[in-house]
Amino acid sequence: MTNIKRVICMTLFAANLLAGTVSKGPLSLSDLENVPGLDGYHASGDILFRTANHKSTTSVRRWPNGVVYHRFADDVTQTNQDLFMEAAEAMSNITVITLVERTDQVNFVEVRNHPDPNFFGGFSELGMVGGQQIILLSDWSNWTMQHEIGHTLGLLHEQSRPDRDQFIDIQWDRIFENYAGNFDISRGAETYSDYDFMSIMHYRWNAFSRDGGATIVPKPGFEQFARTMGGMVLSDLDIQGINQYYNFESNPQSIRWIPHLTTPEGGFQTEVTFTNTRNEPGYLSLFVFDKNGVPLPGITLELVAFEYGKINVNDYRLLNPGTQPSHFQIDGSGFVRTTASYRFDSDQGVTAHVQEVTNTGTLFISYASEWDKSWEGMAIVNLGNEPSHIEGVRKNKQGDETFRATIISDLAPNGKHIMVFDDLFDDDPEQQIQIISSQESVLLFLRGSREGTRYLYQTEPLIVQ
């Protein structure tokens, strides 16, 4: 698995990636004709809308926490899967967006191969639609894939911005009649940066031209973009727009946690990856603790623009003999993102990623999975100044409490407790699991395979209080 944190879940915005433009108004739509695999859809250019709700572009949603879950259709070759993941990883390394391989998430994107050999390009839906949605590709170039991922995040075409007439003129008489709607302004959209001729979401100068001449002409003062508009990679303003739309700009410094690091005794190899998502210097400080909450030597890094790197936890142990790092508190620039990744030995299983956690609470809720195939567990860290009393509660689907037990009575401040729920909960697939802590805590639920291919992944709890 590549280091693109294969977990996808984030609300996309109907905004130009280039300038971050969020749609709140109707778009012109054309019926799709003779396009295999798109029955029941309407399209505006390469943006797909479902017939049942295509007039409701005001409902464009972000993917929660900027995580987009995906899977590949059976007709996508391994080569094209690898190309897609490389393009997604490149976006993940410079933005706050994360693409993750779907397990059982309800909202996800299925990446499909376009079946028509005469078609060249791609289609995608706008933002997180809900349930299964699609990205349909026949061109597996980096530009096309990142452009369509941009729509999936909620981005519109840059030249559809409400302020575009200050920067460009549309040559309507040169545009194929059936494609004129692709150049309409989205007047309800919000913008998150200056107009960006070099955005990956901007049309080329002669897009949909009947005679090969220019369909988009820059206003005086912007003539240098006459033949260069439409970037092949994410521009600086694309990155700025995405990150600002997902509200990371408002949090220049932040405290986060990685509540669990595996140990060599468990058979897992652990790395911590970090990415500076901006074109400016940043810093990262890791406050390291063992499972009892005892502080260990920390790590502070000064990062150059867009720097990406890894910290091998086994190397940390070699540099600090006798230590057993268990979890991190993270401080530093809010635009520096951190993830812990685990792999079970060197040649089997799949890499799992534990993302940094920002939400804390005292009551956490999750639901059981397939107990005959996977185990359920948790890692919880006490953030309070006093020992924490932690209980586990089981409720049935009617909401009745069927079991309650003390998990640990005195978890030390900054201490971590990790456990598997087998001894506390039965195999009812519809049961609700509640974890109650007497002190403010950070928690993640873990799941793993019982047999066969080894895997481990996290699920985020519902934090009630």
Q: Which residues are catalytic?
A: 148
Q: What are phi and psi of 392, to 5 degrees?
A: -115, 135
- Three-class secondary structure of residue 435 per DSSP: strand
For residue 225 the two structure tokens come to 């973009």
d(CA 36, CA 305): 43
Query: Which one, of 110, 118, 109, 108, lies nearest residue 138 by Cα?
Result: 118
Q: What are the Cα distances from residue 409, in Å, to 158, 279, 326, 386, 439? A: 56, 47, 20, 12, 11
Backbone phi, psi, residue 379, to 5°: -130, 125
Task: Break the chain down into helix, strand, coil percent, rounded to 5.
Answer: 15, 40, 45
Cα separations (Å) of 87 from 91, 112, 362, 429? 7, 15, 39, 37
Nearest residue to 66 (alpha-carbon basis) of 329, 273, 247, 255: 247
Structure token digits, residue 458? 């996290």
Which helix (H) or strand (E) segment holds residue 374: the answer is: strand 374-382
How far apart, in whole angstroms, are the C-alpha atoms of residue 430 and residue 314? 39
Residue 244, C-beta contacts closer than 8 angstroms, at least 6 positions apart? 20, 192, 193
The DSSP call for residue 148 is: H
* Start-end of H helices in 197-271: 236-245
- φ/ψ region of 97 (left if φ > 0, alpha if ψ in -120 to 50, else beta) reads beta
Rounded Cα gap, residues 462 and 444, in angstroms: 10
Q: Is 427 helix (H, G, I), strand (E, B) or coil?
A: coil
Bridge partners of residue 283, in order along the sequence: 302
Instruction: List the beta bridge partners of residue 256.
Output: 330
